[in-house]
Chain A
Amino acid sequence: MNICSKCLCPNPVGALFCAECGASLIPTELTTQSFRTDRFDASADGAIVSPPPITLPHRDQAWASLHLIESGHILPLADRNDYTLGRYTEGQPILPDIDLSPYQAYAAGVSRLHALIKREGKRVIIVDLGSSNGTYVNGKRLTTRTEHLLNHGDIIALGKLKLQILLH
């Protein structure tokens, strides 16, 4: 038997694509995404301690920025007080404010509407919007639709896509 790693359905030996979900059954290096976990050290209690945040060039309006760890891109959050994060697909009725599909969002398991980041006074808050693969802050999974306070330098994971929040 050849078990599909995506939907766990059995396929006969020699099958190249899963008959249930169409996923490739060919072992390649490309099917799993590698994350540079070496940059995070697990502390004694198992919580993840983030590396010291990089200092940003000063951005006038931005109240926070998202640092995409894998690609190194920085996305400033400026014009509005809340941003939805997700992945754009055609024909989708509600679009995320920030489309993460250029950053391998699909492969990392980011939902179309995954999470919301908002500003309330000086506090910056993240809410999981009922994503399929969960939202994590510093390695802890958030309860869906519950507000969670973010601190400067926290590591957010949308599914497997990791971002660091930088507060200004």
Chain B
Amino acid sequence: MNPRPDFYAILGISRDATPEEIRRAYVEAARRLHPDKNVAPGETELFLEIQQAYETLSDPKRRKAYDATLPPAESTSSILTPEVIFSRPQLVRLNEPQLIYVLLTLRPSPEQLSLPLPALNVCLVLDRSTSMKGVKIDLLKAATIQFLRSARPEDIVSVVAFSDRAEVIIPASYYRDRLRLETLVRNIQPSGATEIFQGLQTGLAEVQRAYNNQRINHIILLTDGYTYGDEQACLNLAEEAMRNGIGISAFGLGTEWNDIFLDQLAGRTGNTSAYIAHPKDIQKFLLEKFKELTNILCDEVVLMGELSQGVQVNYAFRLQPQPGPIPFHHTTALGTVIRSEGLSVLFEFLIHPSALNSSPLTLWSGRIRISMASQPIPPPPIPLRLERLVEEDASPEPPPPAIVQALSRLMLYRLYEQARQDIQAGHHERATRLLKSLAEHLIRQDQHQLAHTVLLEAEHLQRKRTFSLTGEKEIKYGTRALLLPPPGSKQT
């Protein structure tokens, strides 16, 4: 028997939370559970408990008296087990900057795996601009219908089609009246320009209308074109979605779309963009996404904390699920935790000599905040502190295999990324050299086809001084895909 959750658990904070954290947790919980908004039965009672918890904890005197009545705190989260691996056991006292890598993995604890799969509230936001004409739109419609058919009785689905304006094809609802709804999808006709904001805004409204924090609330955007002028509005919308617990994934079809923008858009919610080379693959990608969404254990994992003086994060990269770079800030959305795989992120820390005055040196300290569709009250955040001793001599110990393996694959993507930056800066020779190195490494890792694409691209670069649209996406998403563990090696 679980005892009644204490006030800290109700607010989803730890016992040593600061007054500011208490206030923030309350505001957030209140926004979600306010009687004007809540939908599930029992949420009004929950809101009253939150109210009571906040009234007690926000008053220092009452908080102290309340603390005295509590049993000793339980050990940290039993939902996710964080595992931290450093590239070396210690830092070295040096007069130059040095790097250290940290691999953070969050694995679901075994009892979490037996929880029922979450219900979805998902909206497909589909590009129907003129460029989709022909086989593309036909395959897209077929894939959409397959996606809808995979919906379970408890899932809520909606479909929005957009060009320079958006139209709700299927409003957020259970997928019951199949024949009628599928006819609506079949009647989608391509015409007009691409304005992603129109589609996103309408899609977000559908998801919000059916929003329930016990579901996975998600927008799947699929486009084959560039959007012009509304990028910033889209990003703002994605941030709003993130604040409201709604994720966005983005698929780019063909080669005429802005991968950096779609990455940023999805990245705002801890997701990434994906590249669909051929329209015949749309169905495969959509069905995989459906499966991934139903297997989400934590729909949001956020890192909140501070770096020490003289320490910076050069690079943060999610290895799984959805490999992709993560913009690192004070508050960083790391992504979702999938049941079978967990979440793993690799950080590259740069330590300046000025930071080495104290030993052990705390690189970063803070909390991992998680939210779960299965729990209306967010579980308490997991405290995390990354620290290393500072020694005079380097350790001869080789770096842990897990880090070497991850970096040897990430290095491929980073060579590509660096080449792309060099092209933008006009350093074509260096970019060509980087691509040739990339091809060599790919050959050694038996990725002959991708190596071939990279060599062709290096040639194209020498002639045209830029990437080809196809080559660029093939290499970017090809090297990213290499980061996923090979099929069959997944841990159970």
Q: Is B350 an interface residue (CB 8 A)?
A: yes
Give bound CA distance, A129 to B85, whole Å.
Answer: 48
Q: Mark B400-429, 1 if CB is under 8 A from A, else 0.
A: 000110011001101100100000000000
Complex CA–CA separation, A137 to B394 (angstroms): 43
Task: Verify A24–B87 contact, CB threshold 8 A.
Answer: no
Nearest to A16 among chain B residues (CB) is: B407
Contact between chains at A1 and B418 (CB < 8 Å)? no
From B99, B412, B443, A90 is in contact (CB under 8 Å) with B443
CA–CA, A17 and B409, complex, Å: 10
Tell me which residues across on chain A come within 8 A of B408, comparing CB atoms. Answer: 17, 24
Shortest distance from the beta carbon of A3 to any chain B beta carbon, whole Å: 13
- Which residue of A has the minimal Cβ distance to B452? A91
Residues of B near A15 (CB, < 8 A) are 99
Most chain B CB atoms below 10 A, which of A24, A26, A89, A90: A90
Q: A13-B94, A14-B100 are in contact. Are A26 and B414 (CB under 8 A)?
A: no
Q: Tell me the dominant secondary structure on chain A's binding face.
A: loop
Pick the contact of A14 from B87, B415, B455 — CB < 8 Å? B87
Q: How far is the CA of A154 from the CA of B99 in the complex (A)?
A: 48
**CB of A110, distance to nearest CB on chain B (Å):** 13
Q: Is the CB of A106 within 8 A of B444?
A: yes
Asked if A12 is an interface residue, CB under 8 A from chain B, the answer is: yes
Contact count A vs B, C-beta below 8 Å: 66
* With A14-B100, A24-B408, A26-B398 as contacts: A90 and B452 at CB distance below 8 Å: yes
B451 within 8 A of A: yes
Q: Which residues of A contact B456 (CB under 8 A)?
A: 91
**Which residues, 19 to 65 on A, are CB-close (under 8 Å) to B?**
19-24, 26, 28
Q: A13-B94, A19-B418, A26-B398 are in contact. Are A90 and B444 (CB under 8 A)?
A: no
How far apart sit A124 and B403, CA to CA, in the bound complex (Å)? 51
B7 within 8 A of A: no
Among B26-75, those with CB < 8 Å from A are none
A22 to B101, Cβ gap below 8 A? no
CB closest chain-B residue, reference A23: B437
Residue interface bits A87-99, CB-to-B below 8 A is 1, else 0: 0011100000000
CB distance A22 to B451 under 8 Å? no
The answer to whether A90 and B399 touch across the interface, beta carbons within 8 angstroms, is: no
Is B438 part of the contact surface with A, judged by Cβ < 8 Å? Answer: yes
B81-122 interface bits toward A, Cβ cutoff 8 Å, 1 = contact, 0 = none = 000000110001010111111000000000000000000000
CA of A132 to CA of B452 in the docked complex: distance in angstroms? 20
| Interface residues of B, count at CB 8 A | 37
User: Contact at A89–B451, with CB atoms within 8 Å?
Assistant: yes
Q: Which residue of the partner chain B has the closest CB to A7?
A: B437
B304 to chain A, nearest CB (A): 26
Contact size class for A? 20 to 34
> Which chain A residue shows the least CB distance to B449?
A90
Contact, CB under 8 Å: A20 / B434: yes
Known: A13-B96, A16-B101. A90 touches B407 (CB 8 A): no
In contact, B451 and A91 (Cβ under 8 angstroms): yes
Q: Which residues of A lie under 8 Å from residue B418 when comparing CB positions?
A: 19
Residue B465 lies at the interface, judged by CB distance under 8 Å to chain A? no
Cβ contact within 8 Å between A17 and B398: no
| In the bound complex, CA of A67 to CA of B384 (Å) | 60
Q: How far is the CA of A22 from the CA of B479 in the complex (A)?
A: 13
Residues in B whose Cβ lies below 8 Å from that of A23: 437
* B98 lies within 8 A of A91 (CB): no
In whole angstroms, how far apart are the Cα atoms of A106 and B439 in the complex?
Answer: 13
Closest Cβ–Cβ distance, residue B26 to chain A (whole Å): 42
- Please tell me if the beta carbons of A12 and B99 are within 8 angstroms of each other in the complex: yes
Closest chain A CB from B32 CB (angstroms): 42
CB distance from B298 to the nearest CB of A (A): 30
Which of A7, A15, A28 is most buried by chain B, counting CB atoms within 10 A of its CB? A15
Contact A19 B99, beta carbon cutoff 8 Å: no
Per-residue interface assignment for chain A, residues 128 to 168, with 1 indicating a CB less than 8 Å from any chain B CB and 0 otherwise = 00000000000000000000000000000000000000000
A68 to B161, CA, bound (A): 65
- A91-B455 in contact (CB<8A): yes
Determine if B88 and A22 form an interchain contact, defined as CB atoms under 8 angstroms apart.
no
Known: A14-B100, A22-B412. A90 touches B451 (CB 8 A): yes
Kindly list chain B residues whose C-beta atoms are within 8 Å of the C-beta of A22: 411-412, 415, 437-438, 440-441
Bound-state Cα–Cα, A22 to B101, Å: 16
* Cα–Cα, bound, A73→B99 (Å): 44
> B99 contacts A14, CB within 8 Å?
yes
Distance (whole angstroms) from the CB of A37 to the closest CB of chain B: 26
Give the contacting residue for B96; candidates A7, A12, A90; CB below 8 A.
Answer: A12
Q: Which residue of B lies closest to A90 (CB)?
A: B448
- Asked if A12 and B449 sit within 8 Å, CB to CB, the answer is no
- Specify which chain B residues have a CB less than 8 angstroms from the CB of A91 in the assembled complex: 448, 451-452, 455-456
Say yes or no: B411 contacts A17, CB within 8 Å.
yes
Binary B-proximity of A74-118 (CB < 8 A = 1, otherwise 0) = 000000000000000111000000000000001000000000000
Q: Are A16 and B404 in contact (CB under 8 A)?
A: yes
Residues 436-469 of chain B: 1 if any A CB is under 8 Å from the residue's CB, otherwise 0? 0110110110001101100110000000000000
Alpha-carbon gap, A72 to B408, bound state (A): 32
The 9 closest A-B pairs by CB, nearest first: A14-B99, A91-B452, A90-B448, A13-B98, A21-B437, A17-B411, A14-B98, A22-B411, A12-B99
Show the binding face of B for A, using Cβ within 8 Å: 87-88, 92, 94, 96-101, 350, 394, 398-399, 403-404, 407-408, 411-412, 414-415, 418, 433-434, 437-438, 440-441, 443-444, 448-449, 451-452, 455-456
Can you list 5 pairs linking A and B with CB atoms under 8 Å apart?
A12-B96, A12-B98, A15-B99, A16-B403, A90-B448
Given contacts A14-B98, A19-B414, A24-B408, 10 further A-B contacts (CB under 8 A): A1-B96, A14-B99, A14-B100, A15-B99, A19-B418, A20-B434, A22-B441, A28-B398, A90-B443, A106-B443
